[in-house]
Structure 1
Amino acid sequence: MAATCVSRGVLCQALSRCRCSGGNLRQISARDLDLNHRQQSGQSVTSESVAGKRLACWEKVSRPDFTGENFQSAQGGGRGGRILWVAVAFSLFNSSDEDQQDEAQRKEDEIILLLKKAKLSLHRGQLQATSGFLHQAVALAHQTHNTQAIIYTYSLMANLAYVQGQLDQAEKLFKAAMSFMLSGGTPQDDNAIIEMSLKLATIYAEQNKAELADHGFRFCTDSLEAKLQKQRELPAEELTEEMKALRKETHLLLGLCLDSRARYRASTLHLNQARQDYQNALNICRQEQGETHPQTLVLMSDLATILDLQGHHDDALALVQQAVDLSRSNGHPDQHVLLGNLAGILLHKGLLEDSFRFYQEALSLAQQTGDQEAVDKIQEGLKEVKKKREQERKEEQNAQE
């Protein structure tokens, strides 16, 4: 279970992008986790020792997305600093000389045009062209000493590098953007700083830099919890609508951090800690987004995955069944993923006919949505069901003989 744009104000936006659209679908196998655990503990691993252990959950593996829609002010990343980039005027020039002002405006317009071209190229899947436009934009931003444009473009370049798997380059660019923000007066606990820190922690997790990853995740969660505590201490009559909106945004960002850390902890087989993080993330999503929100259902499925890995198959089945039932009545963009999870848990419980039925339904939906990776994983599950059926038939024949 591995771990999204510079500014994601709400958990539903952030995680639905990661898991419900545009991400890479990956099935996290209990077989792989069991193999890793046995290798770490020095136990021998055989095909029999891991056969049939399949984790029933798929999840979208998030690469930070690149939308180019929000722009973080160099003076702070609060809601007031976020404005639509296609309309932003980067002008910070005070020269009284009209020619200089015209030249500055021309370069601003050129930066904006380059960012628009970058976004369009990315939408078309032309990553090399996207990179070229962003490099031109950041060069112009440096020439005009436009700190806002530098920060914004660096963050987009970092996201693009991460999408392309260039983790070292993404790390450098995120750090550069954060350095400009902090030197410009952005508080260390600003949500934009924490979001970039979360991406760095995710990068370190993928690079197996455990100490840096742990420190990064801890910084994010501790900073957000302290920030929320300060907000809770404010008298209710002093809270403006903007302050209430910021509190909700901060709370949801904490949920995102907990979810990301849970996936990291599960991948390193710290299942009890992963279970607690998933539960806390689920509680936040339920509180802020509601019981039937698509991300709530995804988190229910993720938590069921951990319960299943820990051998709590009945609890896992009850939770994922609830998620599937809610997805049927309210709709869900990745219903086939939830159904595949349900089928896998039923397989673990030995309910092969029910497992086969839900795998078939999941396969049909995955084919309709064109999700080939999900199709491949579901077909693997169906093969496992077939294998179990054959084993049961052989056991029955041997018993009769």
Structure 2
Amino acid sequence: MLRTAASRGLRSGCRFWIPASGRSCRAPLRPASGFRSSLARPNVQSRRGSLGSRSGTSLALLATIGIFQWGEKQLASEDEIILLIKHAKLSAAKGELKDAERILHQALHMAQQAQNNQAISYIYCQMANLAFLHGDLLSAERLFKATMSHLLGSGMQQDDNALIEISLKLCNIYATTDRHYLAVEGYKWCIETLEEKVQHEEAVPEEALSAEERENTRLLLAMVQDSCARYLLSRGQLELATTLYQKALTIAQDVHGEAHPQAVVLLNDLATVLDMKGCYDQAYEYISRASSLAREMGHTDEHRILSNMARILVHAGNYTEARKVYEEALKQAKLKGDELAMQHIQEGLEELDASTHSSHGQGQARHQ
């Protein structure tokens, strides 16, 4: 599988899931230009060039949070904060997480001195992402909640995409730390809130809301559905996972078209869950399409998709074709130096050998 995942179904429960403070603020936040003009504004994308950005919440905040314009004296401080954050992001990109953390603490100190709550919120979010990368999930949880508290205190609406992305991060932390109830309630809240928001935005006149903003909300919904589906899949809830993958795929294809990296990944994931359900023909239909698109676009995960295709062929009893596909997947994995994929493919070949021997043994027994 390209990705492993993880629930026992969505329960009915609390409608509003704001773990930071338990309160809701509906006064809208009017962002100014500050950080947004100084740091690159992201689109909602995800891992492997997909539905949500690799830095997730922090990047969504860039699109929604601005720092109010100050006087000339104070603008120098704002520039210094922005410069420090850029340095921290560069250090993090290089894998120098300790340096990034140290620089962010400097930026936080300056933002606190300037009493700039929106800068503080953004820096907290960056620090939370660093803690997440370190594997310090409890610190990341605390910092994400602090970010939410600052944003809500600033008047941001609880259905703002930035807050929902933070909520999604918390869901993933709860899922990883085996807090199933909190994870499920969180995913449920995110999905329901975004579904309502998408419906509302569809009724808003075009001149009042840009197409890009509408798409970002839909893509965020797909990202949540995708994340929740992976969680459900790892807990054996195949029917719910299938439904959520199908919904996420529909959005990805509607917004980006079928020939998009994330649409290909979702095709693969949907094929995987169908394979687990024993729906081999349908699974092969999806994985074949994913493989064809991956080959056409030179997708970085083509070898992994081929490995999944071979596994589906094995389960369907088509051992000859499965071996050919595995061999091609192994060839590509070696060229890309993907040792983990090579290991999975070798395990798949061992499974194929065992299945082939078992099949031959059964055939001989029937002829005796």
Q: In 2, are the aligned partners of 1:300 and 1:319 still within 8 Å (CA)?
A: yes
State the secondary structure of the residue aligned to 2:46. helix
Tell me, what secondary structure is at the counterpart of 2:147? helix
- Matched pairs, number: 331
**2:212 paired residue number:** 245
1:289/1:145 CA distance change after superposition, 3 Å: same
Structure 1 partner of 2:337: 370
| 8 Å contact kept, 1:367–1:375 | yes
Q: Distance in 2 between matches of 1:335 and 1:256?
A: 21
Q: Secondary structure at the match of 2:178?
A: coil
1:327 and 1:335 in contact (8 A); partners too: yes
Q: CA deviation at 1:105?
A: 4.4
Partner of residue 308, structure 2: 341
Which residue number in structure 2 is paired with residue 208 of structure 1? 178
> 1:72·1:148 contact (CA, 8 Å) conserved in 2?
no
Instruction: Please name the residue that 1:16 is paired with.
Output: 48
1:96-115 aligned at under 5 Å gives the runs 102=73, 104-115=74-85
Change (3 A) 1:189 1:71: closer
Aligned-partner Cα distance in 2 for 1:67–1:218: 19
TM-fit CA distance, 1:171: 0.8
Deviations along 1:255-279, whole A, 9 cap, x unmatched?
Answer: 1111111111111111111110011
How high is the TM-score relative to the length of structure 2?
A: 0.82
Distance 1:241 1:233, change over 3 A: closer
Q: Deviations over 1:359-399 (max 9, x none)?
A: 11111112222222112111111121122233334445555
CA contact 1:68–1:115 (8 Å) conserved in 2: no
Match for 2:87: what amino acid? K
Match of 2:5 in 1: 2
**Alpha-carbon shift at residue 248 of structure 1 (Å):** 1.2
Q: In structure 1, give the amino acid aligned to 2:316.
A: K
Specify the code of the residue in structure 2 equivalent to 1:14: S
Match of 1:143 in 2: 113
CA distance in 2, matches of 1:18, 1:158: 21
Distance in 2, Cα, partners of 1:381 & 1:111 = 51
Specify the alignment match of 2:28 in structure 1: none
What letter matches 1:264 in structure 2? Y
Deviation of the 1:17 alpha carbon: 4.1
Quote how far apart the aligned CAs of 1:91 are.
6.7
Give 1:162-173 correspondences, 5 Å limit.
Answer: 162-173=132-143
1:135-181 CA distance string (max 9 Å, x none)? 22212211221222211111111111111211111111111111111
Q: 1: distance between equivalents of 2:283 and 2:176?
A: 27
Of 204-213 and 238-247, deviating more is 238-247
What is the aligned partner in structure 1 of residue 12 from structure 2? none
User: Does 2:113 correspond to 1:128?
Assistant: no
- Rounded to whole Å, the distance in 2 between the matches of 1:392 and 1:181 is 61
What is the CA-CA distance between 1:68 and the residue it aligns to?
10
Question: Quick one: distance in 1 between partners of 2:216 and 2:60?
Answer: 16
Paired with 2:90 and 2:348, the residues of 1 have a C-alpha distance of 38
Which letter maps to 2:153?
S
Partners of 2:199 and 2:60 in 1: CA distance: 27
Q: Quick one: which amino acid aligns to residue 149 of structure 1?
A: A
* Alpha-carbon distance, 1:71 to partner: 7.3
1:257 is aligned to 2:224: yes
Q: Distance in 1 between the 2:110 and 2:100 partners? A: 16
d(CA) in 1 for partners of 2:261, 2:209: 26
Change in Cα spacing, 1:160 to 1:134, as seen in structure 2 (3 Å) is same
Q: 1:199 aligns with which of 169, 178, 188?
A: 169
Quote the Cα distance in structure 2 between the aligned partners of 1:342 and 1:301: 9
Answering whether residue 252 of structure 2 is matched by residue 285 of structure 1, we say yes
Corresponding residue to 1:311 among 278, 284, 298? 278
Alignment root-mean-square deviation, CA: 2.5
1:350 equivalent in structure 2 = 317
Residue 346 of structure 2 aligns with an amino acid whose one-letter code is Q
Which residue in 2 is equivalent to 1:72? 61
Q: How far is 1:324 from its partner?
A: 0.9
Alignment-derived partner of residue 292 in structure 2? 325
Shift of 1:331: 2.8
Take 2:224 and 2:57, find their aligned partners in 1: how far apart are those partners?
22
SS in 2 for 1:140: helix
Task: Please name the residue that 1:119 is paired with.
Answer: 89
Q: C-alpha distance in 1, partners of 2:149/2:128?
A: 14
- Amino acid in the other structure paired with 2:251: I
TM-score of the superposed pair, with normalisation by structure 1? 0.76
| Offset, 1:16 | 2.6
Distance in 2 (CA, whole Å) between partners of 1:305 and 1:231 is: 33
CA distance in 2, matches of 1:251, 1:335: 26
Question: What's the offset of the Cα at 1:251?
Answer: 0.9
User: Which whole-Å CA distance do the structure 2 matches of 1:257 and 1:67 have between them?
Assistant: 11
- Matched letter for residue 9 of structure 1: N
Compared with structure 1, are the counterparts of its residues 322 and 65 closer, same or farther at alpha carbon in structure 2 (3 Å cutoff)? closer
User: Does 2:257 align with 1:225?
Assistant: no
Identity of aligned residues (%): 40
Q: Provide the rounded CA distance (Å) in 1 between the counterparts of 2:322 and 2:144.
A: 44
